[in-house]
């Protein structure tokens, strides 16, 4: 996977907000505001980006303003409404005139102009910001051309919308560790779920799947292929219908509930994660195998299809088919002390699962 950008969410409170100070007090983990500096009455620890000399980052709407403000000991942002390729050329010119940030306002065509700008500026030190009206737009802007923009200016007074948008700032890092296989046995026929995603998965990536939400095995994708099967790098043959997997909001979901459009978490052997969407989910009857393991004095199981194409990852990074797995083998997973789940939400309560 590409090295992840440090992304920033900038909040632009509407001018009609009834109680600005109260709203600002509710903002958590937000460092930058798009707001007239004089509107903030009490001292806050926010960085301000605005078309004002009082701002920490001064917005300039022309090359002339950029040159004029260059003498000031402040960072400069060049704001441009993008309607054509000529506007993209102006943006490139602004970089050479000293712009530290570019704010792209692409009201109608958003994706294509940003793709062109990101491609042209990816080797510069200039940060690219754009605007959004809701969390869905925020998510899209952070994934344009895979690299995404560096920051999104979100115009909203809705704290829930801000919290939803913050999920797209950084993908969670999971503590992937080795556990030891203690039992393997065939459990007859049952239904398993094969998940075809909309993304090409790399070697070392897979889904976290298990019988218990606190003990999940790293099921590898089918990118390897074999003498009898072609590679399917978008696919994870995940496990039996009852198994859990993790969603981007931290909740769990039964594999049987996954469907086209469901967002899931893909994790690699180093614990780096990314969000992908399900293209389709196939439930089919197959012979199944139970695998039981222990890690950090926590025990977990998973039931998967009994076939050579379903693979786990050894602690040394090698892939191992579930047909070859045996007690004493060490494989990778994600496990912690048990907690309860209520409709997929983690709850701190006593629970014993077998």
Query: Of 134, 166, 198, which residue is a domain's last?
Result: 166
Same domain, 20 and 147: yes
Residue 146: pLDDT over 80 = no
Note down the domain range covering 16: 8-166
Which string of b and e fits 305-316 if b means at least 16 CB within 10 Å?
Answer: bbbebbbbbbee
Residue that is last in its domain, among 116, 131, 166: 166
**In this model, does residue 302 exceed pLDDT 50?**
yes
Answer with the one of 98, 132, 166 that is the final residue of a domain.
Answer: 166
Same domain, 128 and 202: no
Q: Are residues 60 and 125 in the same domain?
A: yes
170: which 2 tokens? 């950084």
What CATH number did the domain enclosing 67 receive?
Answer: 3.20.20.70
Kindly state whether residues 150 and 223 are assigned to the same domain: no
Per the domain annotation, does 98 fall within a domain? yes
119 and 66 housed in the same domain: yes
Within a domain: 352: no
Q: Which two tokens stand for residue 277?
A: 């969407």
Domain membership flag for residue 353? no
What tens digit of pLDDT does each residue of 68-77 get?
Answer: 888 788 999 9
26, pLDDT greater than 80: yes
Residue 218 has pLDDT above 80, yes or no: yes
236-273 pLDDT, tens digit per residue, is 999 999 999 999 888 999 999 999 999 999 999 999 99
Give the integer Cα–Cα distance in Å for 42 and 22.
11
Q: In which element (H, E) is residue 139 found?
A: helix 135-141
Top mean pLDDT of 85-89, 126-130, 292-296 is at: 292-296
Confidence of residue 42 (pLDDT cuts 50, 70, 90): low
CA dihedral 277, 305, 174, 254 (to 10 degrees): 60
| 156 and 35 co-located in one domain | yes
CATH code of 334's domain: 2.170.16
Q: Are residues 223 and 330 in the same domain?
A: yes
- The DSSP secondary-structure symbol of 18 reads S
Regarding whether 138 and 67 lie in a shared domain, the answer is yes
Tell me, what's the pLDDT at 225? 76
Q: Is residue 171 part of a domain?
A: no
Residue 232 pLDDT: 94
Provide the pLDDT for residue 299: 96
pLDDT of the residue at 347: 54
Number of domains in the chain: 2
Same domain, 335 and 190: yes
The pLDDT of residue 222: 95
Gap between the Cα atoms of 14 and 338, Å rounded? 44
Distance between CA 330 and CA 310 in Å, rounded? 16
What does each C-alpha distance from 188 to 39, 82, 113, 282, 288 come to in angstroms?
Answer: 68, 61, 55, 19, 6
**CB 82 within 8 Å of CB 110:** no
What pLDDT digit, counting tens, does each position of 156-202 carry?
999 999 998 888 887 788 999 999 999 999 999 999 999 999 999 99
| Mean pLDDT, rounded, for 208-214 | 95
Average pLDDT, the chain: 89
pLDDT level of residue 153 (50, 70, 90 thresholds): very high
Task: Quote the pLDDT of residue 316.
Answer: 95
Residue at 217 is within a domain: yes
264 and 149 within one domain: no
Grade residue 2 by pLDDT with cuts at 50, 70 and 90. very low
pLDDT band at 337 (very low <50, low <70, confident <90, very high): confident
Same domain for 132 and 91: yes
Q: Is residue 124 part of a domain?
A: yes
pLDDT on residue 1? 43
- Around 53, how many Cα atoms within 13 Å sit in the side-chain half-sphere? 7
């Amino acid at each position: 996977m590409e090295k992840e950008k440090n992304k920033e969410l900038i909040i632009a409170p509407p001018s009609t907000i009834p109680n600005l100070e109260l709203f600002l007090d509710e903002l958590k983990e937000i460092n930058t505001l798009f707001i007239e500096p004089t509107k903030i009455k009490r001292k806050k620890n926010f960085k301000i980006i605005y078309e004002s000399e009082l701002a920490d980052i001064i917005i300039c709407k022309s090359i002339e303003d950029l040159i004029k403000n260059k003498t000031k000991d402040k960072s400069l942002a060049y704001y441009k409404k993008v309607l054509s390729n000529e506007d993209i050329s102006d943006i490139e010119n602004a970089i050479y005139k000293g712009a530290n940030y570019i704010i792209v306002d692409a009201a109608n065509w958003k994706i294509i102009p940003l793709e062109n700008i990101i491609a042209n500026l990816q080797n510069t030190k200039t940060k690219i910001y754009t605007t959004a009206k809701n969390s869905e737009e925020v998510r899209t802007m952070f994934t344009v051309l895979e690299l995404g923009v560096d920051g999104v200016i979100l115009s909203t007074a809705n704290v829930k919308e801000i919290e939803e948008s913050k999920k797209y700032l950084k993908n969670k890092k999971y503590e992937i560790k080795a556990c030891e296989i203690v039992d393997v046995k065939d459990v007859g026929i049952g239904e398993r779920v094969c998940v075809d995603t909309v993304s090409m998965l790399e070697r070392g990536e897979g889904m976290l799947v298990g019988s218990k939400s606190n003990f999940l095995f790293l099921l590898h994708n089918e990118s390897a292929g074999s003498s009898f099967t072609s590679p399917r790098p978008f696919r994870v043959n995940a496990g039996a219908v009852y198994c859990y997997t993790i969603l981007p909001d931290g909740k769990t979901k039964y594999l049987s509930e996954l469907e086209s459009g469901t967002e899931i978490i893909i994790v690699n052997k180093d614990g780096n994660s990314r969000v992908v969407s399900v293209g389709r989910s196939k439930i089919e009857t197959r012979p199944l195998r139970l695998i039981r393991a222990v890690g950090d004095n926590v025990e977990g199981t998973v039931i998967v299809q009994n076939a050579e194409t379903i693979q786990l990852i050894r602690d040394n990074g090698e892939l191992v088919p579930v047909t070859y797995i045996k007690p004493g083998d060490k494989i990778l997973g994600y496990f912690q002390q048990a907690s309860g789940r209520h409709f997929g939400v983690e709850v701190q309560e006593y629970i014993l699962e077998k």
